[in-house]
Amino acid sequence: MNLDTKNEITWCPGCSNFMILNSVKKAIKKSKIKNFTMVTGIGCHAKIFDYLNISGIYGLHGRVLPTMLGIKIGNPKLNVIGFAGDGDTYSEGLSHFISAGRYNSNMTLLVHDNQSFSLTTGQVTPTSQQGFKAKSEPLGNFNTPLNPLKLALSSGITFIARCDSKDIDHTAKIIEQAIKHKGFAFVEIIQTCLIFNKEMNNLSKYTYKVNNSNMKKAIILADKWNYNSKKGKIPIGIIYKEKRKTLEENWPQLKNGR
């Protein structure tokens, strides 16, 4: 499967979106699964639509998940991957994220979390660190960051993982497992923005790998890093997973894949 395109790549040189693109290609090839379609939000992350040879919908900021769900309901046989930003998912699209966990449709969401609204030249998002001086908060962000993993756990998401974009092979392995998971899979990818949130650029040295499916341990793992400090360790890998009936199995209209 040729996943390359000839479109000129306009990400900043060295942006870790290049690494995420690389990991996604590896994961898709390794999975041997076909029939993919993709949905993106709007943002730097969303440019991936032009660089990955998969058809889909270059969607709306904040509306990646409802678009994915619409595709799934229209054709449950498609393997739907969503690419979204942290601003996209945890700000404008937050309610969709919570609902997606409850529906448990068989699809995969990858969040490129650079703790910044980057395409719009750097504003504070829900996961931005306290004190972050950005155009929207010239005095420094006074809010405490949202912890997406804790939100995912309380939203009933059946596959929750975190990756470091700089670890391409590990990220590829996790994305492959997310794609193969039956149910809604959410992969939070730590992604550096070299231009608008430099303070959070060197997180790799704090990471360590985990592979967990126990809820009690997942809560402890999710609590290890608050998206704020550079103290302590950042678990990456599978934080939680469980088997639960999917939307497609629950809705009789979708059972036979139409």
Q: Which residues are at the interface with ligand TPP (CB under 6 A)? A: 41-45, 60-62, 85-88, 92, 112, 114, 116-120, 125
Stretch that binds ligand SF4, among 26-34, 61-69, 131-139, 194-202 (CB under 6 A): 194-202
φ and ψ at 179, to 5 degrees? -60, -40
Q: Of 58 and 242, which CB lies nearer to ligand TPP in the complex structure?
A: 58
Pick what 49 binds: ligand SF4, ligand TPP, none; C-beta below 5 to 8 Å, kind-dependent. Answer: none
Q: Which of 118, 127, 141, 177 binds ligand SF4 (CB under 6 A)?
A: 118
CB of 242 to ligand SF4, least distance (A): 33
Q: Which of 91, 106, 108, 114 binds ligand SF4 (CB under 6 A)?
A: 114
**Distance of alpha carbon 136 from alpha carbon 119, whole angstroms:** 14
Query: Dihedral sign, CA of 125, 43, 39, 32?
Result: negative
The helix/strand/coil state of 160 is strand
With b for 16 or more beta-carbon neighbours within 10 A and e for fewer, the 16-48 pattern comes to bbbbbbbbbbbbbeebeeeebbbbbbbbbbbbb
CB of 198 to ligand SF4, least distance (A): 10
φ and ψ at 20, to 5 degrees? -65, -45
Pick what 11 binds: ligand TPP, ligand SF4, none; C-beta below 5 to 8 Å, kind-dependent. Answer: ligand SF4
By CB under 6 A, is residue 7 in contact with ligand SF4?
no
Q: Of 16 and 106, which CB lies nearer to ligand SF4 in the complex structure?
A: 16
The helix/strand/coil state of 137 is strand
Instruction: Report helix angle 17-31 to 168-180, nearest 10.
Output: 50
Q: Which of 44, 146, 187, 236 binds ligand SF4 (CB under 6 A)?
A: 44
Pick what 60 binds: ligand TPP, ligand SF4, none; C-beta below 5 to 8 Å, kind-dependent. Answer: ligand TPP
φ and ψ at 218, to 5 degrees? -60, -40
CB of 47 to ligand SF4, least distance (A): 8
By CB under 6 A, is residue 200 in contact with ligand SF4?
no
C-beta neighbour count of 62 within 10 angstroms: 22
By CB under 6 A, is residue 215 in contact with ligand SF4?
no
Q: Where are the beta strands (DSSP E) in 146-233?
A: 159-164, 185-190, 207-211
Q: Where are the beta strands (DSSP E) in 158-251?
A: 159-164, 185-190, 207-211, 234-241
Which pairing describes strands 159-164 and 234-241: parallel, antiparallel, or unpaired? antiparallel
Q: Of 125 and 246, which CB lies nearer to ligand SF4 in the complex structure?
A: 125
Q: Of 48 and 185, which CB lies nearer to ligand SF4 in the complex structure?
A: 48
For ligand SF4, the binding residues (CB under 6 A) are 11-12, 15, 17, 44, 114, 118, 193-196
